[in-house]
Structure 1
Amino acid sequence: MKRVNFAEFGGPDVLRLVDAEEPHAGPGQVRVAVRAAGVNPHDWRVREGQFQQVHPIELPTGIGLDAAGVVDEVGEGVEGVAAGDHVFGEGSDTYAEFAVLSAWARMPEGLTFEEAAGYPSVVETALRIISQVGVRPGQTLLASGASGGVGSAVLQLARERGITVIGTAGAANLDYLRGLGALATTYGEGWVERVRQLGRVDAALDLAGSGVIRELVELTGDPHKVVSIADLSAPDHGVRFSGVAGSMPDALVEAVDLISRGKLHIPVEKTYPLADASAAHIDSQAGHTRGRRVIVV
């Protein structure tokens, strides 16, 4: 089978499409014929070696966490799913023709493989950080860098919980944020004052890692009311960096429910063939995404 690999840490050019042995489903796992794989910032952070001190990996290795596809192998002890089922979820080395998933759910009716591949990690992340930042119904949450996949999920999940969200993004994405129910303003010079004009901030999320931790603490008045998923220097400011995933099965259950009820939709901004994984990483790292980027197999 074909799989995207890298044999050294570095830029997008280290990614290679190679021939690899097919993986097989172990106990509690399923294997899918991958139809689409979500592109996450986590992927290129791994490629750069940013997590080596915390979670070391051996090279060469595959890449990718999220996928949607057709089940073709069911591991020992797995019930409720069979070959031929269309599922989405999280596994390992998902930029490939076949991948093993450790958490999955049946795809909601009407969802394409490309759309489905964009949900798992961003919904889990959004649920986790909304909980960790301690924001409650009736309060206001600031999402810095809100137009990407996690931001899109945060805005909709918070809205369902009765939380007001202020989102910052580039000028071209403000109407998109407003369409998801957020108050919106641009980042850049003077953004703190623009946020203050929109309302009091009870808690804040740094989703883009654009060097705004100090200002988020200033706006909330408490570093414990700020969580970052993108700035590794956050702990230097007393701010929590959230990098350890919570329950993916629970996140998928909630995602299926919200998608099925029309309460959650994350658009796919762009798709890439498997051979162009490096281009997907270049675009992901450049930011300014509206929704998700997905590799199509």
Structure 2
Amino acid sequence: MKAVRFSQFGGPDVLDVVEVDPPSPAADEVVVQVRAAGINPGEASIRKGLLEAFYPTTLPSGEGSDLAGVIAQVGSSVTDWQEGDEVVGWVDTRASHAQYVAVPAAHLVQKPQSLPWEVAGGVFVAGGTAWAATDAVRPMKGDVVAVSAAAGGVGGLVSQLLVERGATVLGIASAENADWLGSKGVTPIDRSGGISAIADRLRDAAPDGIDAFVDLFGGGYVQLALDLGVAGDRINTIIDFDQVGRNGVLGAGSAEGSTAAVLGEVVNRLADGRLELPIERAYPLDQVGAAFTQLEQRRTRGKIVLIP
């Protein structure tokens, strides 16, 4: 079968698609034929060697967490799933960017028929991160909450989850995403002009102050939130790690949201239309380098996915 591998740290050019032996399921696993698998910024950072202190890499390495597909084999102790079931899930083995992957049965939820494969395959990391980041800032009805990178894979879901909870959401994003954010009940804030210009726009949009801030971009947004008077324990960042713990700033993300229960909540909302996860583009597996090149420009609305 085909699978993505890299044998050295570096840019997207170090990614290869190679032939490897297909997996066999352990007793508590199933093997899934992957129909779609999302790509994520954290995977790019791991590939560059930037997260070795947190997520050590043994080279050569596979990659990928998100997946959706059809169960092809079932482990001997698995009773909840059978061959042919359509599922959404994840692995912690950096292995979903492949045609087949072994998945713990407990890491799966049923794929609703109405959910497109591309959306299902890209939901796990973004959905779990968004759920945890939203919970972390404790949004209440009537709160004003600012979100950086508000139209990205995580940011779009955070923004919609906050609206669902009754918050007024100020979504910081490029001007080209303003109409989409507005259609989701979000007040778009143009990110152009740097932090000082963004601060002025946030003050104009929320003259009575901002209650909470979700930072999904880095580059000074946590300090901006503090400067705007947001309490540290109502600021959550998934990227500005140096700020986590200072002034009470929180760092909840994918680790806190990595449960089948959370995945099921997000999948159900996507299936019935309460949430939308746009698919910027779907690439064939052998164009994984091009997919990450686009992702790393940091201008994606929603998700980029691979189709094995």
TM-score, with normalisation over the residues of structure 2? 0.91
After TM superposition, the structure 1 stretch with the greater mean CA deviation from structure 2, 37-46 or 99-108, is: 99-108
Distance 1:2 1:131 in 2: 38
Determine the structure 1 residue equivalent to 2:96.
Answer: 94
Determine the structure 2 residue equivalent to 1:188.
Answer: 192
The SS at the match of 1:25 is coil
The equivalent position to 2:237 in structure 1, one of 228, 234, 238, is 228
Determine the structure 2 residue equivalent to 1:159.
Answer: 163
Distance 1:86 1:173 in 2: 32
The alignment of Structure 1 onto Structure 2 pairs a total of residues equal to: 297
Determine the structure 1 residue equivalent to 2:10.
Answer: 10
Determine the structure 2 residue equivalent to 1:150.
Answer: 154
Per-residue CA deviation, residues 270-292 of structure 1 (Å, 9 max, x unaligned), is: 11111111111111111111111
Determine the structure 2 residue equivalent to 1:283.
Answer: 294
- Establish whether residue 124 from structure 1 lines up as the match of residue 115 from structure 2: no
Distance 1:235 1:135 in 2: 19
Aligned-pair CA distance for 1:75 = 2.2
Distance 1:241 1:255 in 2: 20
Where structure 2 has 5 or more consecutive residues not aligned to the other structure, the ranges are none
Determine the structure 2 residue equivalent to 1:242.
Answer: 252
Distance 1:179 1:100 in 2: 39
Per-residue CA deviation, residues 21-63 of structure 1 (Å, 9 max, x unaligned), is: 2122223322111111101111111111222112212111100
User: Over aligned residue pairs, what C-alpha RMSD do you find?
Assistant: 1.7
Note closer, same or farther for the CA distance 1:13–1:156 as it changes in structure 2 (3 Å cut).
same
The SS at the match of 2:228 is helix
Where structure 1 has 5 or more consecutive residues not aligned to the other structure, the ranges are none
Counterparts of 1:1-297 in structure 2, within 5 Å, are 1-91=1-91, 92=93, 93-102=95-104, 103-189=107-193, 190-199=197-206, 200-235=209-244, 237-238=246-247, 239-243=249-253, 244-297=255-308
The SS at the match of 1:134 is coil
Per-residue CA deviation, residues 200-226 of structure 1 (Å, 9 max, x unaligned), is: 311111112233221122224322221
Distance 2:76 2:275 in 1: 33
Give the letter aligned to residue 102 of structure 2: V
Distance 2:70 2:191 in 1: 41
Aligned-pair CA distance for 1:194 = 0.6
**Same amino acid, percent of matched pairs:** 34
CA contact (8 A) 1:4 1:18 kept: yes
